[in-house]
Amino acid sequence: MSKTRVLIAGLMVSALCANAQTPAPKPDRALEVMKSSFKDRGQAKLDRLNQDKAMEVCTKYATTPVPKALAKQIEAENMKAIPFPADGKYLGDWRAGERIAQSGVGMQFTDNPANPSGGNCYACHKLSPQELSYGTIGTSLYQFGKIRGYSPEIAKYAFGKIYNAQAYTACSNMPRFGHNKILTEAQIKDLVALLMDPESPVNK
């Protein structure tokens, strides 16, 4: 989440400057300003401003589409780095998954890094119909398993997507939960169960 936030902050800086009718600042300048004005606080350290290759490309093409070949390269590299579960099991406990999807706690300087983080999935997605408050940046995931089929391939896809959304869509707005160590493998399995267990409210 924090990297997304940093990116948004960067975009806001560029947007503000663009309004002032001066030439848009170079991304390095925006980064320089952020690095000199932000401070380390608790677990929120300045190294979060360091972008990996994918995020550098996404910043560069923030307002224009990423060239197709480059997008394919980002997706392939991110896909290669996903450690799919060695036991081949993708479904955990959907009840735990629902709690993780509901929770927006974690990664902030006020949070205890020893405690598990939440996934904040409802901030962007509709999931269980019982939850009336959800964001719509992401597609509705209601009836995900029922519609896509309860197959091992779809369970694997859901795991990979939650682990690293950019393996499937370069520069996706969805946080890379496993890749950025926001959620653990067990937590991601619980979320896959929320999406894929026929008993989950998502599939009712």
Count residues contacting ligand HEC (CB under 6 A)?
A: 22
C-beta separation of 85 from 156 below 8 A: no
Q: Does 145 bind ligand HEC (CB under 6 A)?
A: no
Cβ 51 to ligand HEC, closest distance in Å? 17
- List the one residue from 31, 175, 179, 200 that touches ligand HEC (CB under 6 A): 175
**Stretches 14-22, 31-39, 46-54, 117-125: which one binds ligand HEC (CB under 6 A)?**
117-125
Cβ 4 to ligand HEC, closest distance in Å? 6
Cβ 198 to ligand HEC, closest distance in Å? 17
Q: Does 101 bind ligand HEC (CB under 6 A)?
A: yes
- List the one residue from 92, 138, 145, 160 that touches ligand HEC (CB under 6 A): 138
Q: Does 139 bind ligand HEC (CB under 6 A)?
A: yes
Cβ 56 to ligand HEC, closest distance in Å? 18
C-beta separation of 130 from 150 below 8 A: no
